[in-house]
Structure 1
């Protein structure tokens, strides 16, 4: 059977992941192909372990090796940049975490994945405090703050996911008296790397509203309704310091 280049490539990938590829039987039956297949899968496993270090800290090397191997078999990379491999791994962890009695595992994996996304994101211009100088209250009310592509945030209402992620990633001890409460997290990236900080629920609501295209006035109202005691001035200052927004735009 004569295959086009595209057909050959598709069949080759199927064979690598031990799925039927009858058109390449003469190739896949060779002993060397099994060695090559194992090398590729090992590379995928190592990439996943590198991308999700906090998860491995929590579950251990053996469990992580088995989990990443199973994920790699199901979901091969679709990008040559392996730091972008594992988008579906948090959902995969969601299905496995019940058996490990670690209900926070998928959320820790999400934060590891956000770190990868932020680290590899395209660098864009950002809003600074000086950009706001001279603007009137009316200007700000109708302005739109759009989060940069190198920013991620999420509110975790079931457990202190951010604290668990941070101590696991940084190799810090977990304090037995740490309060088991809901937490939010903000990750942002620039030329110096990735920074992160805890985030309150009102702040997450504010960023959600900004990302949805709401004006600064509406987004701030949503934030205050979500968290009445939110110090909005402090929040805006911290978000500007984290380079969270693109330059201000107006309706």
Structure 2
């Protein structure tokens, strides 16, 4: 049962993000007070500022004025559920997908998704990455039967038909780019095996390989699924690249896993 003070807190929070007309009479009277308007504007600005900080590639693409206008609509519809605003905006990519002024920017929801994945990788729990030397000592039979789980900070995505990763990377890095984009599908991998989030492009076969590992498949099963989408995929190069990027967590029997702090 919700206590009276709890009901008031819920109503107060709703008043911060809703139009005055949508409130019940008691809260409507409070919301019309000048002091409340100042408080509402302060909270709204904090949320918009957080979104602009959390989605820097999107903001750079569309400009601050456009971004903040769109963010204000998102904040009105999706109030924060967590006091840690680093986590705010999990639904922003989907919001942009249905946002009419962004209809011609077909890559924008994907860019927002990569900004979201960066946040998730940044905030994920620490863990030891799989040790490439330990993996290399396994026999072919042992490797085939080995299941490697993705690192807790590993995030990846495949985008059909659009160079979303290239667009995101160029705007995330904020560097000057003069070469032309190849308009084709791309994948992306974001990892944080140590202190800093890093990223790199991925093939579709690599994404499928990681999807399979995340589902508990053995390396042999993951390789078979990767070959199903690209019969010419270089499995050795895919696996080595993922290991080097820190995309896998250390197995419980490997030395690296035994060095982790409980």
TM-score interval (norm. to shorter): over 0.9
Partner of 2:8: 8
Aligned twin of 1:55: 58
1:132-211 matches, cutoff 5 A: 132-175=135-178, 177-211=180-214
CA distance in structure 2 between the partners assigned to 1:135 and 1:89 by the alignment: 43
| 194-203 vs 20-29, greater mean Cα deviation | 20-29
Compute the TM-score of the two structures, normalised by the length of structure 1: 0.92
Note the residue ranges of structure 1 that are not aligned, 5 or more in a row.
none
CA distance in 1, matches of 2:29, 2:103: 42
Q: Which runs of 4+ in 1 moved over 4 A?
A: 97-100
Find the counterpart in structure 1 of residue 215 from structure 2.
212
TM-score, scaled to structure 2: 0.88
In structure 2, what is the equivalent of residue 114 of structure 1?
Answer: 117
Task: Give aligned pairs, total.
Answer: 249
Confirm or deny that 1:123 pairs with 2:126: yes
Question: How big is each residue's C-alpha offset from its partner over 1:30-49, in whole Å with a ceiling of 9 and x where there is no partner?
Answer: 21011001100000000000
Equivalence for 1:33:
36
Contact 1:187–1:194 (Cα < 8 Å) also in 2 = yes
Report deviation, 1:98: 6.2
Moved more, 131-140 or 231-240: 131-140
**Which residue of 2 is the match for residue 84 of structure 1?**
87
Instruction: Report the RMSD for the aligned CA atoms in angstroms.
Output: 2.0
After superposition, what is the alpha-carbon deviation per residue over 1:72-110, rounded to whole angstroms, capped at 9, x for unaligned? Answer: 010011111111000000001111266452110100110
- Whole-Å separation in 2 of the counterparts to 1:191 and 1:132: 19
Cα distance change, pair 96–26 in 1 and its aligned pair in 2 (3 A):
closer
